[in-house]
Amino acid sequence: MKDFADRLSAFEDLSCSVVGISPDSPETHKKFAEKLGLDYPLLSDPDHEFIEACGFWAAKKMYGKEYMGVERSTLLIDPKGKAARVFRKVKVAGHAGNVLLALEELKG
């Protein structure tokens, strides 16, 4: 998220808005955004309606225990509101740069 914040002007240059979404509360998001210096909106989806509709609510495993949680993903939505590209199970390092490359490819 910090990498997206650091590259926000590059996304804006490509006419792309950056938004984060998770089941966390708006209060938690506010504290998190202040801590990391995020200048883009963080949306709260406590019932995971959007997250589940995108298929990002998935079974996860930690220390041998299985649970349901948010699969770290990125969704690029085109100006008509359609999914242009989906990045699933993303790794943090280099991801914002990969998304910028995909945006440049989509812009042609």
Q: What is the mean pLDDT of residues 65-92?
A: 91
- Domain-by-domain residue ranges, the chain? 2-107
Can you name the CATH fold of 2-107? Glutaredoxin (3.40.30)
Task: Enter the pTM of the model.
Answer: 0.82
**pLDDT tens-place string over residues 73-85:** 999 988 888 899 9
**pLDDT tens-place string over residues 2-17:** 899 999 999 999 999 9
Tokens describing residue 4: 């997206």
Cα distance between residue 84 and residue 78, in whole Å: 6
> String of b and e for 63-81 (b: at least 16 CB within 10 Å)?
eeeeeebbbeebbeeeeee
Look at residue 1 in the predicted model and tell me its pLDDT: 87
Cα angle 38-4-49, degrees, rounded to a multiple of 5: 80
Tokens describing residue 64: 């041998």
